[in-house]
Each structure stands twice: as C-alpha cells, then as structure tokens.
Amino acid sequence: MFRFALSLILGMFALSTAQAKVIGQDVKYWVDGQEMTGYLAYDDSVTGARPGVLVVHEWWGHNPYARKRAEMLASLGYTALALDMYGTGKLADHPKDAKTFMMETMSNIAVAEKRFDAAHALLKSQPEVDGGKTAAIGYCFGGGVVLHAARTGRDLDGVISYHGSLKPMTKAEKGVIKAQVRAFNGADDPFVKPEEIAAIKQEMQDADVDFRFVNYPGAVHSFTNPDADDFAKRFKMPVGYNAAADADSWAQTRAFLRDIFAR
C-alpha cells in the first residue's frame, strides 16, 4: 500500500485565455516506504472529471521538462501527472548519475512496475479524473517504461513513446495489450538500431496491437526536448532538438488522445 498527500506549489500558470488557468501541484506519495514527488496539472476552467495522462520522465529524473509536458496536456483539457520513477530528490545533472538512477530502477522490473502502478492509481483517484479513461506518454527512458506498461497489459487506453528504448523486457502477447500504441523515433538516433525497429513492428503485428511507428528523418535522440542541444555540448552526447519532429509528434499526440478518449 502507499500513502499520498498533495501540497500546492506557489502559483498558477496562465493559459492563453483570461479565465482558464492551469493549476500545478506537487504530489507526494509513497511506494514501499520511499517518498516520490510527482506533479499534477489540470485546467481549472474545465468542469467535471476528464481523461488523465501520465507523463514519464527522461533518464535525468523528474525534471522541469516532464512538468512542462504535464502543463501542456492540462492546457488541452486533460489532467496530467508527471510521475517520479526514482524517488524524491533523485534528479541527475550528469549522464553518469542518470545512468545510475535508471539502472537502480530497472534492474528490478517489479519495483519499476510498482512505481508506475502507484502513480497510475494516484492519477485515477483524483476528482478531476475519469478513472476509466487514462493514457501514458514517456520520453527516452520514460518511453521504454510506457511501452513496458502496454506490453504487460496495464489498463490504459493509449501509450506514446518519444525517442524511447524499443527493446522489450517482456514481449507483447496477443490478447494482453489493452492500449493503442504509438512510437515516435528519430531516424538518425544511434541508440535505436534498425533491427530493433523491425522487431517491435513484428512484435506488435503478431500481438494484433493497434500500433503506429513514426521515424523522423534527420532527427536524433531527445528530439522533443529543447535542452538536448545543451546536453550535446556539455556532455558530447549524440542528442539534439528537432523543432519539426517535435511539432509533428505533438500534433499527432493531440489527435491520438482525442481519438482514444472519444471511444
């Protein structure tokens, strides 16, 4: 069992209209005695329960980028929870630390699953959320996490991976996956091999999954994150922002979410 408590952060984030505001709240919850800090965002001008979307962070940890995406989802009328897969305060500022945090989490997949499930239960428990309509999106490390959630039959309407790992920890089986699945990838991403792309396409086809894979020419790893160019310079990483791929993948995300939640 886990406990959770909500604590309001300093303010509200104005949207494009005077009336509509995105409320941002820090969310403290516990999984097996470890404190986690997520971020809940919703538009206070939307009345009643609405679909909920989980946002799973990159390997750096629960950072401002994950929160930004939660706010963007809130501005579309959803309630979004940027969850925490590492634990309060575990935010890396160097790739070595990021890798350590990631490996600590994923070395025991049961622990990772429990953390994801706890956040999903927390999201569904919110009064602003229709618990029967949820999805999950993830970036890089988070992309692999949400694909695993789909492969293992988590009760989600849709899952979207952005420049995430495609390698399965558990392969999809026919009749198990409940979610429709989308994967956005940089065609020039050195971390994703052509054989991995072919494998996931075959895997999803064999499992009879509603799956679409989009490969963006010229895009590399972390193409949705404007901070990627800075990471490339500071750490000599093969990553980079691609505005066109970012814009197109977000446009497709908006359409995908509208479609799955309208059913």
Complete DSSP assignment for 12-78: EEE-SSSS-EEEEEEEEEEETTEEEEEEEEEETTS-S-EEEEEEE--TT-S-HHHHHHHHHHHHTT-
Q: Provide CATH code, domain 4-262.
A: 3.40.50.1820
Residues of the chain with pLDDT under 50: 1-18
What is the pLDDT at residue 20? 64
Give the strands of the sheet with 158-162, arranged side by side. 4-14, 21-31, 34-43, 79-82, 50-56, 129-139, 158-162, 180-186, 211-216
* Contact yes or no for 172/158 (Cβ under 8 A): no
What is the pLDDT at residue 5? 39
Q: Both tokens of residue 249?
A: 């993948």
What is the pLDDT at residue 248? 98
What is the pLDDT at residue 59? 98
- Nearest Cα residue to 39 out of 48, 28, 52, 51: 28
pLDDT tens digit string along 96-145?
Answer: 999 999 999 999 999 999 999 999 999 999 999 999 999 999 999 999 99
> Strand 211-216 to strand 158-162: parallel, antiparallel, or no bridges (unpaired)?
unpaired
DSSP single-letter state for residue 184: E
What is the pLDDT at residue 11? 40
**41 phi/psi in degrees, rounded to 5:** -135, 135
- Break the chain into its structural domains and give their ranges: 4-262
CA-CA-CA-CA dihedral for 80, 63, 147, 258, to nearest 10: 30
Measured distance CA(80)–CA(57) in Å, rounded: 13
